[in-house]
Structure 1
Amino acid sequence: MKLKIEQLDRGAFAPFGDVIACDGSRHYQINDGFAERYHDLAKVDIAADGGRPLINIFRAKPRTLPLQIAMMERHPLSSQAFMPLMPRAFLVVVAAAGTVPTAEDLRCFRTHGLQGVNYAPGTWHFPLIALETEQDFLVVDRGGPGRNCDEVAIAGDVFVVD
């Protein structure tokens, strides 16, 4: 099965979490007009069972297309946000929270390089898909007690193609 790449936008991504981007976001001036605050861009949810926020940087190596999607993961106790630290596009493969996804449940989105994503708790997703070059991401997720990462195999041959 070939997984079609869609352009990332807030409406299409809403079932899976939040798009983190300045365009179209609520904002206002701060610091005597020397800064613009883009406010409340994602619903960070990490408090389950005594969790605490973790601020991380992930360095993703580039992947080549076609890319086989043979597994998915989810974080049932928290959201997980990824914001690129360089203006480069990356891909996001997701499926709705709930039961184990099948190939038909998967969707793939391409960011425009200045967008990040925040996966809602339990949203199935494939690990980071950097394109063309190594890429750093600011990642906000949960630390604390409890199992917060489930992985499942995806049956069949599912490939992201450009």
Structure 2
Amino acid sequence: MSSDTGVPVSEASAHVLRPLTADAFRRFGQVLVTDATYTVNLGHADRTDLLTCLAHRETAPQLCLSHFDVRPMALPATITELEAHPYTAQIFLPISESRPVVVVALAGPDGRPDPHSLAAFLGAPGQAILYDAGVWHAGLTTASAPGRFLMAMWRGSRPDTVVEPLPRPLVVDLAG
């Protein structure tokens, strides 16, 4: 049997997607829920505050705000590479109802993804994801339905996106 990239499943490591919770994700960053709102502007707007700090390790950075239209990933799915941003945290804020697929790893002693720290999560609609600076993660995707997200991170004077192939492909799937 082969995965969606043609890699034999027997040659890939496997992870079951588990629920994305603040406690389970703490060592990689933060999970923020966008459901606590209050009315502002004389009743003309509802405001949701996400209490977090978008950390950066650069002097004189600029805030970069991007919009992502994300296509869903068919499960089981094969992850072959991760990316990291060594100098800044990165946050994805949902602006549609979707379930993000979140695959992360800590940096090993050599700075590359530590395969022993790999974790895979399935987010709930309304959850925002903040990756700490230097945390390795798969490109943003969703399960079953397209999603729309705003992404914010700092941009400084040095390149801040590093992509690294995994030593073995990682197959992620729902429990079952």
What RMSD in Å do the two structures reach over aligned CA positions? 2.2
Aligned counterpart, 2:58:
48
Aligned counterpart, 1:161:
173
- The one-letter code of the counterpart of 2:71 is K
Deviations along 1:4-25, one digit per CA (max 9) or x if unpaired, are 21111111111111112145x7
Identity of aligned residues (%): 27
Whether contact under 8 Å (1:6, 1:109) holds in the other structure is yes
Aligned counterpart, 2:162:
150
Q: Output aligned runs, 1:105-124, within 5 Å.
A: 105-124=117-136
Query: How many residues end up aligned between the 2 structures?
Result: 160
* TM-score (norm: length of structure 2): 0.80
Aligned counterpart, 2:81:
71
Whether contact under 8 Å (1:56, 1:138) holds in the other structure is yes
Aligned counterpart, 1:92:
102
11, 15, 18: which is aligned to 1:3? 15
Whether contact under 8 Å (2:62, 2:155) holds in the other structure is yes
User: Aligned-pair distance for 1:87?
Assistant: 1.4
Deviations along 1:6-62, one digit per CA (max 9) or x if unpaired, are 111111111111112145x7x776556776654442221236132111111011122
User: Aligned-pair distance for 1:118?
Assistant: 0.7
Segments of structure 2 that go 5 or more residues without pairing to the other structure are: 1-12
Whether contact under 8 Å (2:39, 2:47) holds in the other structure is yes
Deviations along 1:103-135, one digit per CA (max 9) or x if unpaired, are 332101111111010101001100012222332
Give distance in 2, aligned partners of 1:33 and 1:103.
Answer: 50
Give distance in 2, aligned partners of 1:131 and 1:71.
Answer: 18
Whether contact under 8 Å (2:34, 2:128) holds in the other structure is no
Give distance in 1, aligned partners of 2:45 and 2:22.
Answer: 24
Whether contact under 8 Å (2:89, 2:154) holds in the other structure is yes
Aligned counterpart, 2:145:
133
Give distance in 2, aligned partners of 1:120 and 1:133.
Answer: 26
| Structure possessing the higher radius of gyration over alpha carbons | 2
Aligned counterpart, 1:60:
70
Higher alpha-carbon deviation: 37-46 or 145-154: 37-46
Give distance in 2, aligned partners of 1:28 and 1:133.
Answer: 28
Aligned counterpart, 1:20:
32
Give distance in 1, aligned partners of 2:155 and 2:129.
Answer: 19
Give distance in 2, aligned partners of 1:158 and 1:47.
Answer: 30
